A and B are shown apart, each in its own frame.
Chain A
Amino acid sequence: GAVVSQHPSWVICKSGTSVKIECRSLDFQATTMFWYRQFPKQSLMLMATSNEGSKATYEQGVEKDKFLINHASLTLSTLTVTSAHPEDSSFYICSAREGEQYFGPGTRLTVL
């Protein structure tokens, strides 16, 4: 199947700082990418849909000014958590669609 990578795989940051997570489709071009968040012992929650060259569509309750998404090319989408706080600590997972939807390995964010 198609391969999706994420970088970094884990990150620890101080409260108030911003963190950028990259999502890349390695062997295919993805017009649409998705960002999910997962808290411990919970299911994945869709945060936003990212379309190349246009603004992301955010799910209800997700702050677009806090979670900045940029999908500048057909193989790269980035999620920036701005002014991160401890409650933003979570497992962030991206996915890209080429027919089927393929997921990255996830990024563990810990905000101190």
Chain B
Amino acid sequence: DAKTTQPTSMDCAEGRAANLPCNHSTISGNEYVYWYRQIHSQGPQYIIHGLKNNETNEMASLIITEDRKSSTLILPHATLRDTAVYYCIVRVHGSSNTGKLIFGQGTTLQVKP
């Protein structure tokens, strides 16, 4: 699976949009971009995933560049409860495959009042 690069930490003001970048320049054509987050002392929580089109759900939006070498996770109105470590992971999609989720160091997002 391709490797990802994320900033170590970011701050965001409560109520503002949080934009978390991720570089995945070696991504393969059949690899999806996944985002998970981990709030302190809890298991990771799935946020969103995408292949090449932008995606949006009730939690966040995912913007993937046309060349697919980078992406941005957007939390439109960050709250204090969004403070967590955010992981960007690339892997092959589908329940029938054995693609594993390999976690990097992630970005620690601190939402401040």
B49 / chain A contacts, CB cutoff of 8 Å:
100
B105 / chain A contacts, CB cutoff of 8 Å:
43
The answer to whether A105 touches B100, judged by C-beta atoms less than 8 angstroms apart, is no
Complex formed: what's the CA distance from A101 to B95 in Å? 9
B11 → chain A closest CB, angstroms: 19
Stretch from B17-25, B36-44, B67-75 at the A interface: B36-44
**Chain B interface mostly helix, strand, loop or mixed?**
loop
User: Given A43-B106, A101-B46, A102-B46 in contact, is the A95-B41 Cβ separation under 8 Å?
Assistant: no
Using CB atoms and an 8 Å cutoff, list the residues of chain B in contact with chain A.
36, 38, 41-46, 49, 87, 94-95, 98, 100-106
Using CB atoms and an 8 Å cutoff, list the residues of chain A in contact with chain B.
1, 4, 6, 31-32, 34, 36, 43-46, 49, 91, 93, 95, 97-106, 108
